Amino acid sequence: MDKQLRQRISMANPVHFLALGFGSGLAPKAPGTFGSLAALPLVLLQSYLSLPLMLAIIVLATLVGFYLCGKTAEDMQVHDHSSIVWDEVVGMLITFIAIPLSVTSLLAGFALFRLFDIVKPWPIRYLDKHVHGGVGIMVDDILAGIFALVCMHILILAGWLG
């Protein structure tokens, strides 16, 4: 991130702090991957929640994320800068809805989410290009999380992931 852009954000600002994935989005290489890694402690905490509470928190994180991502992009004066990774955090939370956690499931979910987030199969790519603002920043990762979640449940049902 160039110096001029870095001066437009502050880690002391809670909106920026969260939108930048607790600072993980400032990684010089692969900020989306680091944002996804930063979500893992939240994934672990979420695994202790009941399904209704888990879903409520994900909905809240998504709605708040629309604002966080939109406001931070506005402050940066750059739409969907790669350092904005709250969308990856929410995508990872979605990936692990009702998934029993193990080292294997964490690795599989992480890999599937990153795959869908990077490759952006239809309709993810279309929405990524045509929806703007905070919702536009978030929508591709929400869908990548849903795609990864479906794959995770298929793997569990097939007995390949326990």
Q: How many Cα neighbours within 13 Å face the side chain of 37?
A: 10
Can you give the pLDDT of all 162 residues of the chain as single tens digits?
Answer: 677 777 788 899 999 999 999 999 999 999 999 999 999 999 999 999 999 999 999 999 999 999 999 999 999 999 889 999 999 999 999 999 999 999 999 999 999 999 999 999 999 999 988 999 999 999 999 999 999 999 999 999 999 997
C-alpha dihedral sign at 6, 11, 13, 19:
positive
Q: What residue has token string 């994934």?
A: 43
For residue 1, the model assigns a pLDDT of: 61
For residue 92, the model assigns a pLDDT of: 98
CA angle 41, 65, 131 (to 5 degrees): 130
For residue 5, the model assigns a pLDDT of: 74
For residue 58, the model assigns a pLDDT of: 98
How far apart are alpha carbons 63 and 25 in whole angstroms?
Answer: 20
Q: The whole model's pTM is what?
A: 0.95
> What 8-state DSSP symbol labels residue 49?
S
C-alpha dihedral sign at 77, 80, 86, 90:
positive
Question: Structural domain boundaries of the chain?
Answer: 3-157
